[in-house]
C-alpha cells in the first residue's frame, strides 16, 4: 500500500466533512461525510460548484463583500464559524478550516486546498440553551436584570429618536415571604411563575408587546415606551386587576406543609408599583430601574396596592437610609448607642415605681438620630436581634447598678421587637442577661405590642409562659390600636396593659376617647391586670386618669427621658452637702 492511498483512505473515511478544491474554489474531491452534511452528492459538487456556492449568500455579502474573492491567496480566510445552505434549503452552522495542501498528496493535487467542515448544530443548541439560562429567571422564565436592561437600552434609543417619553415600572408582590413560609420554596416559586405570567398577559392586553423582566426577590419590571403621565393609569389598572386573583393559580398551587397554613392557599396577592420616567428621571436604563425601585419602596411604606412616582427627595432618603444602615452595623462596637430612662409614676402615691428603657443613637457626624428613623432600618436590615439583645443586657446591668447605688428597687421595662420575641431562644437570652446583671427577674418587665400577640399565636403563648415561669412580667404596649380577642387575651399570662397615647391625647375633647380609656381600665382590672397610660402632658390628664382608676402614667408632665444618673437623683436625692447649721436653718 503506497503512502498516497493511505492518506486518501483516511480522507474518505473521516467522520467529519472534508473536501479538496482547486485554487479557483471548485471542488475536486469530497468525502461521504461532506455529502451528508450538505445534501449534495459528489457528482453535484466535483467540477460543478465552488465551495463558496454552499455558503449563505447574505452572510457572504455581510462578511466578505458583494464579490467574494476566489484566488488561492484568499481561500485561507474562510475559516471559523459559517453557515451553509443545504440542498433542501435549510441552514446549518459549520466550523470551517481551510489550508493549502502540503506533503505527499501535493504531487497529485498541486495548488489545491483542503477544507474541513464540522456540523456545529449541537454546539449551537448548547450555546443557545446556555445563553437562555444565563439571561432568564428559572422560576418566572422572564428576562433577568441584565437582559432587561439591554432591551430597555434599545427602547430608550428609539425614544430618544422619536422624542417620546418612556416609563419604567418596578412591580413588587405583597407578602411573598408569607407564601414562602406557608407553602415552602416550591410554592413561592410557583407563585412567582403565575404572577409573572399574569403580569405579562395583563401588560400585553393594555400596552401590547413591551419589555418585561424579573429583577430578583419579589420584583418584576416593565417598560412602557410612549407612556408618560398615563403610565399611572396603567399601573393602577394592573393593581386592581391583579388583586382579583386567578383561579388557575389556585388549582395548581401545591398543598401547604401543615393544615394550619391551608387558609393561605390561593390567597390573593397584591402589588405595589414604583415608576420612573424618561427623560424627567434619567436617560440611562440602570438609573431608571434603580429610581423606580426607590419609588416602589415608598409605595410599600404607604401601604398595600399603592403607586408611587419617583421624586428626587426619595433618592435622598434612600441614600440616607443606606448610610444609616451601614453605620448602624458598627454602632454597638463604636459605643454610639446608649439608653435613657423615662420614669413611670404611680397615680395614687406619686412615687416612681419603675422606668422605661429607651434606645438612643448618637451618630458621630449626624448627631442624634431619631428612633423612629433607625429602628425600622434595623428591622429591615435584620440587625434588630443584635441591637435588642444589647438593649436588654444594658438595661438589666444599669438597673442593677441603680438599685445598688440608690438602695431602692425601681423596676425597668424594656420594649422588644417582633423579630426578637419569636426567637425560640429569647427567654433563655433574657435569663442570661438577668444573671449577668445580678437583677431579680421580678424587677424586669417586657413590653410587646398588641399585634405581636396574634402574629404567631403558638410561639407567642410558649414564650409568654416561659417568661412568666422565670418571674418576668409582660405588658401589652399600645393597647387599643389593634384588634384583640378579649376572650383569648384573658387566657394569656400578662401583667399589664398600656393605653396608647392617642386615646389619652383626645380625652379632653372627645367623650368617646375618655369612655374608651375608662372601659380599658375597668376591663384590665377585672382581668387582674395593671394599667399604665402613656403620653401624659397636662395635670388635667393625670387627674382624670387617677379618677378613672389608672395605676401608672408616663409622659412629659412627669419627666422627659433622662440619663441613668439623673434617674438616680429623681429616685434618691443626693444628701445635703451643706453644714449641719445650714441644714437646720
* pLDDT on residue 263: 40
Q: Which of 273, 274, 292 is nearest to 149 (CA)?
A: 292
- The domains located in the chain, with CATH, are 3-126 (3.30.450.20), 138-310 (3.30.70.270), 323-571 (3.20.20.450)
pLDDT at 261: 39
Contacts of 5 (CB under 8 A, 6+ apart): none
Q: What is the model's pLDDT at position 161?
A: 94
Q: Which of 196, 191, 244, 187 is nearest to 220 (CA)?
A: 196
User: Which pLDDT belongs to residue 545?
Assistant: 94
DSSP string, 398-437: HHHHHHHHH-S--EEEEE--HHHHT-TTHHHHHHHHHHHH
Where in 86-218 does DSSP place strands (E)? 91-100, 113-119, 166-173, 212-216
Contacts of 37 (CB under 8 A, 6+ apart): 17, 84, 86, 92, 94, 117, 119
Q: Which grid coordinates are listed for 429?
A: 437570652
CB under 8 Å to 39, separation ≥6 — which residues? 86, 87, 88
DSSP state, 336? -
Residues 6+ apart with CB under 8 A from 9: none
Of the candidates 198, 290, 205, 280, the residue with the CA atom closest to the CA atom of residue 242: 198
| Count of alpha carbons within 13 angstroms of residue 373, beta-carbon side | 17
Q: What is the 3-state secondary structure (H, E, C) of 193-206?
A: HHHHHHHHHHHHHH
Please name which of 245, 251, 238 lies closest in space to residue 212, comparing C-alpha atoms.
Answer: 238
- Return the closest-CA partner of residue 214 out of 158, 173, 244: 173
The single residue listed with the C-alpha cell 405570567 is: 197
What pLDDT is attached to residue 248?
Answer: 47
The secondary structure of 232-299, three-state, reads HHHHHHHHHHHCCCCHHHHHHCCCCCCHHHHHHCCCCCCEEEEEEEECCCCCCHHHHHHHHHHHHHHH
CA distance 333 to 337: 9
Cell of 160: 430618544
Provide the greatest CA pair distance for the chain: 137
Q: What angle do CA 138, 141, 147 make, to 5 degrees?
A: 95
Cα dist. 91→55, 57, 83 in Å?
9, 11, 6
Nearest-10 Cα torsion for 205, 208, 213, 214: -10
Q: How far is CA 293 from CA 275, 308, 419, in A?
A: 8, 10, 25
> Cell 381600665 appears where?
521
Distance CA(585)–CA(574), nearest Å, equals 18
DSSP 486-505: HHHHHTS---EEEE-HHHHH
Task: Check residue 575 and report its DSSP letter.
Answer: P
3-state secondary structure of 525: helix
pLDDT at 181: 65
How far apart, in whole angstroms, are the C-alpha atoms of residue 182 and residue 33? 58
Q: DSSP per residue over 362-402, as a string?
A: EETTTEEEPHHHHHHHHHHTT-HHHHHHHHHHHHHHHHHHH
Run of H or E residues at 61:
helix 57-63
Cα dihedral 519→524→525→530 (10° resolution): -120
CB burial readout 195-234, b (16+ within 10 A) else e = bbbbbbebbeeebeebbbbbbeebbbbbbbbbbeeebbeb
pTM for this entry: 0.63
- In order along its 585 residues, the chain shows pLDDT tens digits of 345 567 777 888 888 899 998 888 899 999 999 999 999 999 999 999 988 899 998 888 888 776 555 554 566 667 788 999 999 999 999 999 888 887 656 666 777 888 899 998 888 788 788 888 889 998 889 999 999 999 999 999 999 999 999 999 999 988 776 777 667 778 778 888 888 888 898 888 888 889 999 998 889 999 999 998 889 999 998 988 888 765 444 444 444 444 333 344 444 568 999 999 999 999 999 999 999 999 998 898 888 889 999 988 887 888 888 899 999 999 998 999 999 999 999 999 988 989 999 999 999 988 999 999 999 899 888 899 999 999 999 999 999 999 888 877 789 999 999 888 888 899 999 999 999 999 999 999 999 988 787 766 778 888 999 999 999 999 998 887 665 666 677 788 899 999 988 899 999 888 898 999 999 999 999 989 999 999 999 999 999 999 999 999 999 999 999 999 999 888 876 554 333 433 333
What gap in Å lies between CA 566 and CA 578, rounded to an integer?
A: 21
Q: What is the pLDDT of residue 375?
A: 93
Pair 183, 256: CB distance under 8 Å: yes
Quick one: how far is CA 135 from the chain centroid? 20
Adjacency order of strands within the sheet including 212-216: 212-216, 219-225, 166-173, 271-278, 307-309
Amino acid at each position: 500500500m503506497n503512502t498516497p492511498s493511505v492518506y486518501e483512505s483516511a480522507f474518505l473515511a473521516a467522520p467529519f466533512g472534508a473536501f479538496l478544491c482547486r485554487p479557483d474554489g471548485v471542488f475536486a474531491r469530497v468525502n461521504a461525510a461532506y455529502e451528508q452534511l450538505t445534501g449534495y452528492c459528489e457528482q453535484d459538487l466535483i467540477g460543478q460548484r465552488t465551495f463558496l456556492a454552499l455558503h449563505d449568500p447574505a452572510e457572504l455579502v455581510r462578511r466578505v463583500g458583494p464579490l467574494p474573492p476566489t484566488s488561492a491567496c484568499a481561500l485561507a480566510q474562510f475559516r471559523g464559524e459559517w453557515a451553509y445552505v443545504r440542498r433542501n434549503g435549510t441552514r446549518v452552522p459549520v466550523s470551517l478550516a481551510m489550508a493549502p495542501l502540503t506533503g505527499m498528496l501535493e504531487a497529485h493535487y498541486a495548488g489545491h486546498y483542503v477544507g474541513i467542515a464540522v456540523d456545529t448544530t449541537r454546539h449551537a443548541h448548547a450555546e443557545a440553551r446556555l445563553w437562555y439560562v444565563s439571561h432568564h429567571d428559572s422560576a418566572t422564565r422572564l428576562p433577568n436584570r441584565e437582559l432587561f436592561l439591554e432591551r430597555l437600552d434599545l427602547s430608550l434609543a428609539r425614544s430618544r429618536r422619536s422624542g417620546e417619553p418612556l416609563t419604567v415600572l418596578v412591580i413588587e408582590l405583597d407578602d411573598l415571604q408569607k407564601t414562602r413560609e406557608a407553602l415552602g420554596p416550591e410554592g413561592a416559586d410557583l407563585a412567582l411563575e403565575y404572577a409573572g405570567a399574569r403580569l405579562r398577559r395583563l401588560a400585553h392586553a393594555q400596552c401590547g408587546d413591551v419589555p418585561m423582566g424579573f429583577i430578583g426577590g419579589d420584583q418584576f419590571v416593565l417598560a412602557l415606551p410612549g407612556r408618560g403621565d398615563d403610565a399611572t393609569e396603567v399601573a393602577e389598572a394592573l393593581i386592581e386587576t391583579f388583586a382579583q386573583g386567578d383561579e388557575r393559580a389556585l388549582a395548581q398551587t401545591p398543598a401547604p406543609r401543615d393544615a394550619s397554613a391551608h387558609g393561605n392557599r390561593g390567597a390573593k396577592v397584591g402589588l405595589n408599583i414604583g415608576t420612573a420616567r424618561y427623560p424627567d428621571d434619567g436617560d440611562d436604563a440602570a438609573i431608571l430601574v434603580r429610581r423606580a425601585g426607590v419609588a416602589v419602596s415608598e409605595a410599600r411604606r404607604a401601604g398595600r396596592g399603592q403607586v408611587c412616582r419617583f421624586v428626587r427627595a426619595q433618592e435622598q432618603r434612600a441614600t440616607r437610609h443606606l448610610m444609616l444602615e451601614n453605620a448602624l452595623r458598627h454602632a454597638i462596637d463604636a459605643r454610639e448607642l446608649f439608653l435613657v430612662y423615662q420614669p413611670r409614676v404611680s397615680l395614687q402615691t406619686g412615687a416612681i415605681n419603675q422606668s422605661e428603657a429607651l434606645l438612643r443613637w448618637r451618630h458621630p457626624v449626624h448627631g442624634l438620630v431619631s428612633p423612629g428613623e433607625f429602628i425600622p432600618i434595623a428591622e429591615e436590615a435584620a440587625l434588630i436581634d443584635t441591637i435588642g439583645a444589647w438593649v436588654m443586657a444594658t438595661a438589666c446591668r444599669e438597673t442593677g447598678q441603680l438599685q445598688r447605688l440608690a438602695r431602692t428597687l425601681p423596676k425597668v421595662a424594656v420594649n422588644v421587637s417582633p423579630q426578637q420575641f419569636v426567637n425560640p431562644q429569647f427567654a433563655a437570652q433574657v435569663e442570661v442577661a438577668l444573671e449577668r446583671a445580678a437583677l431579680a427577674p421580678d424587677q424586669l418587665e417586657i413590653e410587646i405590642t398588641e399585634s405581636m400577640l396574634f402574629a404567631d399565636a403558638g410561639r407567642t403563648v410558649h414564650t409568654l409562659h416561659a417568661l412568666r415561669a422565670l418571674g418576668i412580667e409582660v405588658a401589652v404596649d399600645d393597647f387599643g390600636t389593634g384588634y384583640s380577642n378579649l376572650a383569648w387575651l384573658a387566657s394569656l399570662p400578662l401583667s399589664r396593659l398600656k393605653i396608647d397615647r392617642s386615646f389619652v391625647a383626645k380625652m379632653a375633647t372627645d367623650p368617646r376617647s375618655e369612655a374608651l380609656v375608662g372601659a380599658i381600665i375597668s376591663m384590665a382590672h377585672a382581668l387582674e391586670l395593671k394599667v399604665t397610660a402613656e403620653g401624659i402632658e397636662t395635670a388635667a390628664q393625670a387627674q382624670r386618669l387617677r379618677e378613672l382608676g389608672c395605676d401608672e402614667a408616663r409622659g412629659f408632665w412627669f419627666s422627659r427621658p433622662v440619663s441613668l444618673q439623673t434617674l438616680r437623683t429623681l429616685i434618691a436625692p443626693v444628701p445635703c452637702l451643706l453644714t449641719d447649721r445650714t441644714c437646720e436653718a
